[in-house]
A and B are shown apart, each in its own frame.
Chain A
Amino acid sequence: MVINIEGLDFAYGAGKQTVPVLKNINLTFPEGQITAIIGQTGSGKSTLVQQLNALLKPTAGEVHIGDHTVTNKTKEKALTPIRAEVGMVFQFPESQLFAPTVIEDVMYGPKNFGATDEEAKQAAEKALAKVGFDTSLYDQSPFNLSGGQMRRVALAGVLAMNPQTMVFDEPAAGLDPQGQAELLDLLRTLRDEGKTIVLISHQMEQVLALANQVVVMKDGQVAAHEPVEELFARPQSWFADQHLDLPETIAFQKEMEKQGFVFDHLAKTVDDLAKQLAGQLDSAKLTGQRSDQAGSQAQTGGPHHE
């Protein structure tokens, strides 16, 4: 399923109180790919993705979601089937939790779209396992959980529904490092299964590792929309203008280039960066330095005592 936005404007509120946010957006989200949306705080990312499952309707312009078209005039009733096709994990997970227990919360989606209790339970358990949620907490209230545990329940809620398109608004925020790494694998797997994924993230490393293409938002407009390799090949000054950072691996490459190192491609991972660096290091010197450094560490290191 392809999502296509044409000439979209969006303003919050009505009458005199309107706050215009999105201006003249034209975008396509291709099927089976990961599209990342990045941009400064307040640039309109969360507002934009809420158009993708019609939680917000455009003030002007059209959103084509598979066979559905959403405009300002579209009736609420016509929006319901869209919710089954486009799942959304919100920026603050609490805002989407509501059931008395974790398991019921995750079962709600499948049941709402016609699954039997048994099917819904199976889907929920499978989804909770995928996000590494502790089985002993299934019968807890979703509100009596830690921040990262709530995030996992919210993620599972969408996975259990298994929609064709999934939108994730800062899904890694609040996850511990292991949870973040597992989330990357999960999103990759979903893409490989043919899902259309939209990912908002402030973590450029994640975007570099996952995205096929990137949309850069600035003041409610699209400042760039291109394949990920193209985007991160832009000069550092461009990123500074957008108030964005380069991913750590690429920033480190740029730093080393100033020292005379050369790289034949942008490093997507730390391992890739290490490989490209290793060939340019004097291995004899490296070993020498190593034992040297180890010696001096013995005097300054050691655990800290109060």
Chain B
Amino acid sequence: MTNAITIKNLNYSYPEQGELFKNFDFSVQEGEWLAIVGHNGSGKSTLAKLILGLLDFDQGEIQVFDEKLSEETLASIRAQVGMVFQNPDNQFVGATVADDVAFGLENRQVPSKEMPAKIEAALKQVGMEDYAEREPHTLSGGQKQRVALASILALHPRVIILDEATAMLDPEGKQAVMETLKELKARYQDQLTLIMITHDMEEAALADRVAVVSDGQLVFDEKPETLFLKGKQLAELGLAQPFSMELQSALGISQTTYRTKQELATWLSTLKA
């Protein structure tokens, strides 16, 4: 199996603050769907910015596919990794929504003839096609997040990093984004690697693997089916379990089997008195 991202012995601290990452090792396989969870300030966004070369690490090595991150490879790596930022306002560059999507495409030298169709398709994918001529800063919170996502989806990157990209979406919008991601995964399979930073444990439970970060350290790194049995440890880390597991625990059922909501409902109905 090829690694999409390999991090070896990474050290990083912000000049203003103490040490964050120390001898940090981590990797993401090509085609994997990874969720990263952790308390506020644990280092999730910093890690994503390091991978994109937006921050310079002090020591260690970051490799994206077969390229080591350095000044020479920066452009090529950024062409393969698309990131949706935690605050969409930090991502907008265009004067209109359409310009914003166009900007990334131009950077990748997409011929101008192909642009309008690509822009429209990307905006349609997130239900924002009617807002193409709007100034991004006049959009509602959820609309901004949808456009930020469209700008990245338009580029078809090999690796997509979503930093709390659904935090402001309404329930239906969240659902729609998750469906879109599932479809993309099904279509591109191993050609698409997905990294989702989130505080939503339901969302994390959809991933193949969940990495738990605390104060710059990787504390757990496993499948959701086993991670979400660890209710107590997760609570100690400022985290929680998905609803279905909280309910099992409230029912006094020992935490040995992971069940989704549907699985739990079906199972409980076989136990009806």
Contacts and interface: CB of A to CB of B under 8 A. Distances in A.
Whether A associates with B in a native complex is: yes
Interface of A: 12, 19, 39-42, 46, 91-92, 94-95, 134, 137, 140-141, 144-149, 151-152, 169-170, 173-181, 202, 204, 243-245, 248, 252, 255-256, 259-261, 270-271, 273-274, 277-278, 280-283, 285-286, 289-290, 293-294, 296-297, 301-304, 306
Given A40-B170, A202-B171, A294-B254, 6 more contacts: A147-B86, A175-B199, A204-B171, A244-B171, A256-B268, A302-B226
B222 A303 contact: yes
B269 A259 contact: yes
Contact of A91 (B141, B251, B252, B265): B141
Given A140-B16, A278-B251, A294-B256, A173 B40 contact: no
A259 B247 CA distance: 17
Contacts of B87: 92, 94, 147
Given A176-B238, A274-B251, A146 B14 contact: no
Contacts of A149: 40-41
B250 A270 contact: yes
Contacts of B253: 286, 290
Nearest to B223: A304
B10 to A, nearest CB: 17
A137 B235 CA distance: 23
A290 to B, nearest CB: 6
B225 interface: yes
Nearest to A91: B141
Given A252-B265, A274-B251, A92 B171 contact: no
Contacts of A40: 170, 172
A42 B229 CA distance: 37
Nearest to B269: A259
25 contacts: A12-B138, A41-B169, A42-B143, A145-B41, A147-B45, A148-B40, A149-B41, A173-B167, A202-B170, A204-B171, A243-B171, A243-B172, A244-B171, A244-B172, A252-B265, A256-B265, A261-B269, A274-B251, A277-B251, A277-B268, A278-B252, A281-B268, A290-B254, A294-B257, A303-B226
Contacts of B167: 170, 173-174
Contact of B40 (A176, A282, A293): A176
Interface string B251-270: 11110110001000101111
B30 interface: no
A146 B45 contact: yes
Contacts of A148: 39-41, 199
B247 A252 contact: yes
Query: Which one of B16, B222, B250, B267 has the highest number of Cβ atoms from chain A below 10 Å of its Cβ?
Result: B250
A137 B41 CA distance: 11
Interface residues of B, number: 64
B250 A274 contact: yes
A273 B250 CA distance: 9
A202 B172 CA distance: 10
B27 interface: yes
Contacts of B171: 202, 204, 243-245
B272 A280 contact: yes
Interface string B233-244: 001001110010
A281 B272 contact: yes
Nearest to B238: A178
A246 to B, nearest CB: 9
Interface string B121-152: 00000000000000000111111001000000
Contacts of B273: 280-283, 285
A179 B238 contact: yes
Contacts of B271: 281-282, 285-286, 289
A57 to B, nearest CB: 17
B38 to A, nearest CB: 7
B53 interface: no
B158 interface: no
A97 to B, nearest CB: 12
Query: Which one of A40, A178, A180, A278 has the highest number of Cβ atoms from chain B below 10 Å of its Cβ?
Result: A178
Given A41-B173, A252-B265, A260-B272, A177 B239 contact: yes
B142 A41 contact: yes
Nearest to B14: A144
Nearest to A300: B225
Contact of B142 (A42, A146, A261): A42
B201 interface: yes
B272 A282 contact: yes
Interface string B167-187: 111111110000000000000
Nearest to A45: B140
